[in-house]
Chains A and B, each alone.
Chain A
Amino acid sequence: MCTVCGCGTATLEGDKAHGDKHGHSHSHAHGDHDHSHAHDHDHHHHDHDHDHDHGHGHSHDHDHDHHHHDHDHAHGAGGEALDYGAGLAGVHVPGLSQERIVQIERDILSKNRSYAEENRGYFARKGVLALNFVSSPGSGKTSLLVRAINDLKDKHAIAVVEGDQQTSNDAERIRATGAKAIQVNTGKGCHLDAHMVGHALETLDIADNSLLFVENVGNLVCPAAFDLGEAHKVVLLSTTEGEDKPSKYPDMFAAADLMLLNKSDLLPHLDFDTDACIAHALRVNPNLQTLIVSAKTGEGLAAFYAWVEARSDLARRKAEARKAG
């Protein structure tokens, strides 16, 4: 794993050289100068770390934050000694000197959240409606997307990010519809994170005002915690699963804004209690909307498309208002 950007073992299709582009380290020491820089460039696939030692009399602190581009400079110098750790700890621990305890108070997911905000800003500028599709494996995410793309592609430009541990089978199924798709393989990872999606966006080159469907890794637990910058999480539950799944895996249903109850064509053959399922879901998330659909027969999909179109329209108009200033 890259400990700077956390690329992990995730791979993007056609990005074999990933590992080579990481990690440069330079250390300079100048005789009577004592100069201390800490640079931190964080491009996607591009990191430099410089450490110099010097002795000038100024101190800077820069923090730049571009889309996929971070700098942190800490120049310290001069008359006074450079002490990054001074006075940061507000606590006393017996037997430890104060400056050796550093208070961080950083949320573990803060890094992901900042990447997610970059993605969200990108979508907002381009008027893109991004939806993050989550469910357990086999509930019909890819089939639903293939059908939705075929039904919507005349009106919208559509791009898809496919997340799976391995293979690019799903991206190939999507590409067969004519939509742009990129497969992200998460390797050992159980979810997509905002950084992987950011990489995928660089490759996808999405048209303004298009729809972006992100098909997350089939998993009802982990993807709930990772914001990708999407407008909404859409959770699929199929009628062949237990109707109490929203109670068993509450985080995902709490994080979603829309539940699609898929495979409605099978309902006559099953004991699935639709009302009980919706009651379980509403207990976890009173604001959750539910649509009963079948990706196979098309039942209920018109309502889903209307839901998508209303939000896509809003995203487009917001971006236009922004451009108009």
Chain B
Amino acid sequence: MHEMSLTESVVEILCEEGRRQGFARVKTVWLEIGALSGVEPGAMEFCFDVVTRGTLAEGARLEIVRTPGQGWCLDCEKSVALSERFGACPECGGYKVQMTSGDEMRVKELEVE
């Protein structure tokens, strides 16, 4: 979903940090994208090349770190793996699962010069 505008937000963050921290070029960007965030990494890579053109991140390498989905099952009273956002608990099949991680969308770090 909306990978284009998310990628534009990433580039905005890079430009802002570039001014704030005084770097002129970004060589690598590490993003943390959760498995349950609804973001398609392939689409984001495609958009990244287009959106970075003419910016300080033109030609930069995009590294996407995927974090797995996890939730807390209220019935099993434990942490379980989640493969979809509002999916059932893989152990009891119930839906009383609160997502605890996997929806991250973060710019983690940059290699700059």
Contacts and interface: CB of A to CB of B under 8 A. Distances in A.
Contact of B12 (A6, A189, A190, A251): A6
B20 A38 contact: yes
Contact of B106 (A93, A102, A107): A107
Q: Size class of A's contact patch?
A: 35 or more
Interface in B1-44: 1-2, 4-6, 8-13, 15-17, 19-23, 31, 38
B67 to A, nearest CB: 13
B9 A283 contact: no
Contact of B6 (A93, A108, A188): A108
Contacts of B86: 247, 250, 254, 283-284
A151 interface: no
Contacts of A189: 2, 4-5
B109 interface: yes
Contacts of A89: 109
A189 B9 CA distance: 13
Nearest to A74: B20
Contact of B1 (A84, A108, A111, A221): A221
Contacts of B1: 190, 221-222, 225
A85 B6 CA distance: 26
B112 to A, nearest CB: 5
Interface residues of B, number: 35
A193 B5 CA distance: 10
Interface string B51-78: 1000100000000000000000000000
A306 to B, nearest CB: 30
A106 interface: yes
B88 to A, nearest CB: 9
Contacts of B107: 104-106, 108
B39 to A, nearest CB: 9
Nearest to B26: A102
Interface in B73-104: 85-86, 95
Given A8-B5, A84-B20, A189-B5, A108 B95 contact: no
Contacts of B51: 1
B108 A85 contact: no
B109 A3 contact: no
Interface of B: 1-2, 4-6, 8-13, 15-17, 19-23, 31, 38, 51, 55, 85-86, 95, 105-113
Interface of A: 1, 3-6, 8, 36, 38, 40, 49, 72, 74, 82-85, 88-89, 91, 93, 96, 100-112, 188-191, 193, 221-222, 225, 247, 250-251, 254, 283-284
11 contacts: A4-B16, A85-B22, A101-B112, A103-B108, A107-B106, A108-B31, A108-B107, A112-B9, A225-B2, A225-B38, A283-B86
